[in-house]
Copies of this chain bind each other. A is one copy, B any other.
């Protein structure tokens, strides 16, 4: 579906489209019914109907009853919507982690390759001390690994509580009750935890993109995106477009996750009067933008050009100034400055790379 407002949106494929939402809701109803249901093709009609009931389930059940009059018995609208959101979320997180693992693999290679590539460290925009590009990449990698860890912790519970969570209708119908206590109509940790974890991903991707837009400034020139984006009027331009678009995402996602928390904090009675309804589109946008950002980060890294000569030249030009700390420390220690001033940077790179391999491998094993 074309979206001129969010370039790259199609990278999120059909995750959290209205069609997917419909499929997921039918899937929930079919599982509850115990047999397959055809997905109605009246999406426009359902969309219109959704307003009068406040959610799309009432219209959907009306349609599904033509196939199976006993559909939805014992459930409430929120059971179907929430379960469908969770199923779509689980599928999206699986896809997201695949992209993140591609990013992790690529970063691990990059960090290892540039484990000893010297460059100047910068703090508050100014030259600080020597470092290596591998050390910088290890920082990027740490951020992505942290984000992936949080995704790995997520649960995607079904919601099966009936009208007010008591499962009264199920008992009345004589159905076997689903095991376990989780019914979370008004306690939204499954949604807010998901939102928080997704923002962690765009934080990590933006961490990388910020460095790329900075280091690809022509005056710095230590990195460049593979092809670069063109201009509508300037033939000379090669813009760091993927980085720009990743940064874009990360400016918006923290506020989407905050919206999920605000909605959670509005829960009242046995179903919220607005807070619940605010979640659906917010979660959709958050999921899709995170998927797009992760995929763009992967492509950004695939094409990334590292100008090691330029890094070395800048460090050389920075000269003695960036060794001022070393001189002070050597003087304090009462010896001449050591020939190198990189501390345990290489060991850090090795450790982060090892963590990356462990993450990718253990996930690969789990999914076998």
Contact = CB atoms under 8 A, between A and B. Distances in A.
A309 to B, nearest CB: 15
A243 B128 CA distance: 18
A213 B318 CA distance: 18
Nearest to A20: B4
Interface residues of A, number: 172
A274 B265 CA distance: 12
Contacts of A16: 5
A124 interface: yes
Contact of A252 (B18, B122, B218, B282): B282
Given A2-B18, A187-B146, A270 B202 contact: no
Nearest to A322: B236
Interface string A138-181: 01001100110010000000000011111111111110010001
B232 A57 contact: yes
A333 interface: yes
11 contacts: A2-B46, A4-B43, A5-B281, A8-B51, A128-B270, A128-B271, A166-B344, A172-B341, A244-B277, A247-B273, A247-B274
A235 interface: yes
Interface stretch (A31-39, A103-111, A324-332, A360-368): A324-332
B274 A244 contact: yes
